[in-house]
Every structure is written in structure tokens, then in C-alpha cells.
Structure 1
Amino acid sequence: MNKKEEFKLIDGVFSASDAEQVLTKLFNYKIDYHNREDFSNHIRFNKDIEHSKKRISELIETKEAIQKLLFDAKANKLNLVINSTIAISIE
């Protein structure tokens, strides 16, 4: 059974301040999730956490790039159009 669905996560026009709140919280949650998951898996199962470490690094880099974009938008008093979807596949 192969099935794929998409759901809107974020869809709208945001002030730079509102966009900063939404995106910062989203990225912080994902980073915190991986940190907690790493700690739990390492302590309980002695699992390799390299994948999560790499993902955390990617998320931090993306968050920093977004923060630069938001800084520019704030400085120029611009709004941001943000669209994000979640694609889920069942295989």
C-alpha cells in the first residue's frame, strides 16, 4: 500500500516579528526533540546518535539563515509570505 498525503503547516503573510516567533519556536522544538531523543537513545540503548547530531547541525544552520533573513525583513519593515507543507507517505 503506497499512499501519500500533504497537509498545510504554515500558510500566510507574516510580519517579521510574527514570522520570527513561529519559525524560531518550530526550529527550537525540532532541535530540542533531537537532543532529547539523542540523550534517551544513548543512555537507554547505547545507540549511535550520529544521524541526530547531523540533523541538529542542519537545523541550527537553517535557523541561523532564517534569522538573517528575518533581520533583513525587520530592518526594511517587510512582511514574509511563508508556506510550508508536511508530506506523509505510507509505504
Structure 2
Amino acid sequence: MNNLEKLTLIEGNFTTEEAKEILHNVFMTKIKFHEHKNFSSIERFGKDDATAVNRIPELKKELQRVNEIFAWAQQHHKRLHLSSEIQISFIEE
């Protein structure tokens, strides 16, 4: 296996509503992941998961930015091209 693997997650032209739905779902999935991770840490260890606690507001801020971008695009009758690549690198434990 290569030391770096690349996967295409999103690639294409979309209406503002389609693009907003796609990105909203991606960001909400990540937010829910971190919320669940933090809840699990509190239940199991009695303390917050520091990574999750820090990441949730960052993701919410990015989601707010997504909404601003799509509001502008919709107001100006724009279609959008979305492109997203996942890069996987192997590191030693």
C-alpha cells in the first residue's frame, strides 16, 4: 500500500441548495461525532475529551461560514463546484 492514499469524496457542479445540503450534512456528521466522543468520555472517565471540546466550536464556525457563502451564491444566482479529497497517510503508533 502507498504511504499516501487519496480518495475523492465530493466532485461536481451543484445548485446552491444541493451544495448546501451536502456540506451541511458533512459538517453536522463531524459535529455529532465529536459530541458523541465527548459524551462517551464524560460517561467513561468523568471528564471532557479535549479534542472534541475544541473541535466542536471550530466546526460550528465553519458551518456558519458555509451558510454565508451559500446565501451569497443564492442571492447572486450562482451554481457551485465542490471538490473534496480525503488524504490518508500511514504513521507509526
Give the TM-score normalised by structure 2.
0.90
C-alpha distance in structure 2 between counterparts of 1:48 and 1:22, whole Å: 29
2:86 aligned residue: 86
How far apart in 2 are the matches of 1:51 and 1:62?
16
TM superposition outliers: structure 1 runs of 4+ over 2 Å: 45-48
Matches within 5 A, 1:25-36: 25-36=25-36
C-alpha deviation, 1:2, in angstroms: 7.2
Instruction: Please state how far the C-alpha of 1:48 moved relative to its aligned partner.
Output: 4.1
Deviations 1:13-36 (A, max 9, x none): 110000011010110110011001
Aligned position for 1:39:
39
2:77 is paired with a residue whose SS is: coil
Counterpart Cα distance in 2 of 1:68 and 1:53: 24
Q: With CA pairs under 8 Å and 6+ residues apart, which has the higher RCO, 1 or 2?
A: 1
1:8-87 mapped onto 2 (5 Å cutoff): 8-87=8-87
Contact 2:8 2:85 in 1 (8 A): yes
Q: What is the SS of the residue equivalent to 1:10?
A: strand
Aligned AA (1:33) = F
Structure 1: gaps of 5 or more residues: none
Contact 2:39 2:48 in 1 (8 A): no
Q: TM-score, normalised by structure 1?
A: 0.92
- Is there any run of 5+ residues in structure 2 with no aligned partner, and where? none
Write the distance in 2 (CA, Å) between the matches of 1:30 and 1:3: 25
Pairs aligned (count)? 91
CA RMSD after TM alignment: 1.6
